[in-house]
Structure 1
């Protein structure tokens, strides 16, 4: 059973400068245009933290590492070093105000997902025209980019078209052309490699920034279980035929458990049982192994994960 005591619930390290604590990551800006990004084990949903899942931060950091290594020929990324299994030292970038979502299938559950809009009768969305007659979760004629505005002030991301991105001055034509080409190439590489592992990369989001030279750099994470939807290829044909949800890495166990017991947006979150925490940890570990084809080796050095992270980041103390 997963050791439920090995949790990095926070990485508040006073010796590191310029902290920024997000929902899942704890970050520090170094004075030389580098940034420390520490992936905690917190799991977020309903705009709040629900729990901490053992080894989740290591899984996400190492999954992204696998994909950064396998896509560096397509686009440079922000990674400079990995001093710890949960930590990336990256270039400090100016993040572009558009989030890029690439979709290969008619899927999704949110109000702005293309499946939801399609079922309402819309055929024109995000600047694309979809044909009639598509079934739930069917492959699109070709992957499409469905960009959204990136809400830096806590607001909600809003759907955009390419024309709106340019007319609003969010990106230049050259930036949009470059990002579009790179995103589709990254997605194609991801789908190709996932297929060899018996997986379908359904959709994913990418975040880009620019460095001091104006070069476009891939930031954040790539093709992780949190930023991407994967289906298990073996079960997909039957699910498509039956109109059911294709089998996937079901990380929604905690989300569903909480939503069944309270209004998660307003009520206190009930205590989540240890067996639910352990099951979710195993989902993340299984996802890492399925996506990368590598065994997951949990780093259990140090008295606690925070002690280990502090020791590994000591060279960066100010």
Structure 2
């Protein structure tokens, strides 16, 4: 039985960060994650909390199931989405490890791969791999037999490992490559930009039909560099500025207009120091997580 004596912190407040992190990783959407947390808060305050023996488990179960319902409906609507669908970027602390997380746990690249899992696989993967819940605990959250959860967890982990290439670029090197890339783009030098892109580079651009964006992935250094410089040469970009920021645990690039973000570029750097995966999020409806 959970009893508060008036001096203890409300369990919802205590675990709010965990609840948002769970919902965000499951949905890839800052706005939807915030909605889920709010719905969980309402459920928590309607509950007879004298009957809740394990508040953390109750809250995580509530958020997980709310997110599952939202994710199932969201995947159906993404079939008609205009162009590539990318998750919403999220500003994070420069060293997310200080918050009990790792950059890998919240990386944009991993969120993209999680989109290829089924809703239940994604829930199990997030709860197990990101937050370390036991198979038994997850079985309780999802009301499924523990052996079934173990099978789902193994299948999801193998699926992610087969599709998610991890690049171990140290902080200093990433800063250097990012600075060189920004300088080359600002100078409008096609060759200089191409020299920093891997030959097999791919770029995705999510405008959601709201702003101009490439409706198909771009492949190859020539195509990506030309498209990128073409965007930067547009008249409306004359007053835009670029700056670095830690997005989803990694140094990234923001494009700002009047101090407000109008786009975010996240990317991977391969073992040769070249950019190999570029993800441009410019859908104005998906930039809320870039403001403090």
TM-score with structure 1 setting the length: 0.23
Higher strand share: 1
TM-score with structure 2 setting the length: 0.24
Higher helix share: 2
